[in-house]
Amino acid sequence: MSTMDTTQEFARLHIRLPLHIKERIEQAAIISGVSLTDFTIANLAESADEVLERHHFRKLTNRDRDIFLAMLDADDEPNEKLIDAFKARKELIAE
């Protein structure tokens, strides 16, 4: 049974890869009991999701979390550099 949904739009991805890698991928698909296309799509999608997740999310250590929360709780007034940066931003946006 194919994992592809017939209601989706499809596109082609043309790639060149070394023969020995293609043969390994074909063997892995056979062992997994799926077509080469389904195996490739599933693994490319999984790999893409992992890369995107690493890019979009940062995992903080306990120390990082504690520092971040302490900064949020602090009642510090903005320093002069922050005030100047805010004023410069307002001037840029107002134009």
SS3 string of 29-42? HHHHCCCHHHHHHH
Asked if 31 and 68 touch (Cβ cutoff 8 Å), the reply is no
Q: Pick the range with the lowest mean pLDDT from 32-36, 43-47, 74-78.
A: 74-78
Look at residue 10 and tell me if it is in a domain.
no
Look at residue 67 and tell me if it is in a domain.
yes
Residue 21: pLDDT above 70? yes
Look at residue 85 and tell me if it is in a domain.
yes
Look at residue 84 and tell me if it is in a domain.
yes
Q: Dihedral through CA 66, CA 73, CA 85, CA 91, nearest 10?
A: 130
Mean pLDDT of 32-52: 96
Residue range(s) defining the domain that contains residue 34? 19-94
What percentage of the chain has pLDDT greater than the value 90?
59
Measured CA to CA, the distance from residue 66 to residue 79 in angstroms comes to 22
Measured CA to CA, the distance from residue 20 to residue 27 in angstroms comes to 11
* Its pTM surpasses 0.75: no
Residue 52: pLDDT above 70? yes
Listed in sequence order, the residues at least 6 apart from 37 whose beta carbon sits closer than 8 Å to its beta carbon are: 4
